[in-house]
Amino acid sequence: MKVVTILGTRPEIIKLSPLIPLLDKEFDHILIHTGQHYSYQMDKIFFEELKLRECDYILNVGSATHAQQTANMMIEIEEVLLKENPDMVLVQGDTNSTLAGAITSSKLNIKVVHVEAGCRSFDKNMPEEINRILVDHCSDILFAPDENSFANLKSEGIKKNKIHLVGNTSIDACLRARHLFNKDKLAELGLEKNEYALMTLHRQENTDTDQLKEIMDAVNKISHEIKIIFPVHFRTLKILKENNFDIGENIILTEPLGYGDFVGLLSLAKFVMTDSGGIQEESAVLNTPCLILRENTEWNYLVDLGKNMLVGTKYNNIVDSILNLLMDEEKLSKMRNIKFNFETGVSESIISLLKS
């Protein structure tokens, strides 16, 4: 059986990293990189670090408006699919690469497999939410990461026999990457275990100039109380520089980190502030309190569990929530110690179901 996997962003590479070698082993497997965020050359460090083979097709679509980018991907993907004639196409998550792959495959009557199906923030102002819904309703096989996602799919009328509750591949990826971290990195950055906060910020709604300034003003205030390391997404850095935003002296800006270094720093941080979806699960696995710089999340079960906390995107809410938490070591400790049950071996389960 021939399977095509489509990816185009670093989170997809990370989350699919435990699955790709198994797909290579069990199927005639073709790997397509769309180049959604960066060139393949810039992503190559992730492939090397995670010991993944090179892609069969590199589309180098690059950045554009949502419509232009998705349309360009669909044109290029269609050409590959017509040439390769696969039995199924596998996509992951909620990116434009995911959407382009799912729609193109569906139009060609090729089975669509969606890994991380059913996640919902219930906020259609987020482009990712539109992608999630459309991809799920194009898909023939849906792998849900948690019970909430499974329930979302059923409530939207998707047939139960299409849905499989398997867990999340990102957990296996995170546990594997933890062993790649060299603890000398802490000294190199002037950090000590549990004495710094980690931060990421990249979502479209948070990198609008006014919104980004409000968040950064809050982070500057928090940095008076704790050192913050901030690996900066290229888009975020561009806006910070163009607008000459003030960056507090206790904030360490770095280039985007390799996955092993990032997971290592995440595991040793006092807490993480992020708008990333993937980091919300990774921090829960590593027992690092996660403070979500968003008004909502697709990983609601972790908030309900008390493992993560939504702090919003407004100055007062961010500052009050995080400074109060910094003064409450008991609450931080409770967040760390809440038991988070998760599945491992998810990629093996997916392969078994695809073969059945």
Task: Give the residue numbers annotated as catalytic, written as ranges.
Answer: 202
- d(Cα 22, Cα 335) in Å, to the nearest integer? 34
The two three-digit tokens of residue 70, written as one number: 């998705």
Residue type at 138 in one-letter notation? C
SS (H, E, C) 68-84: HHHHHHHHHHHHHHHHH
Cα gap 235→96, rounded to integer Å = 17
Q: Which two tokens stand for residue 307?
A: 């493992």
d(CA 288, CA 273): 10
DSSP track, 216-227: HHHHHHHTTTSE
35 vs 40: CA distance, rounded Å: 6
Phi and psi at residue 228, in whole multiples of 5°?
-125, 130
Q: Which neighbouring-strand residues pair with 292?
A: 274, 310
Cβ atoms of residues 275 and 199 within 8 Å:
no
Distance CA 200, CA 212 (A): 12
Kindly give, in sequence order, each residue whose CB lies less than 8 Å from that of residue 237, ignoring residues fewer than 6 positions away.
253
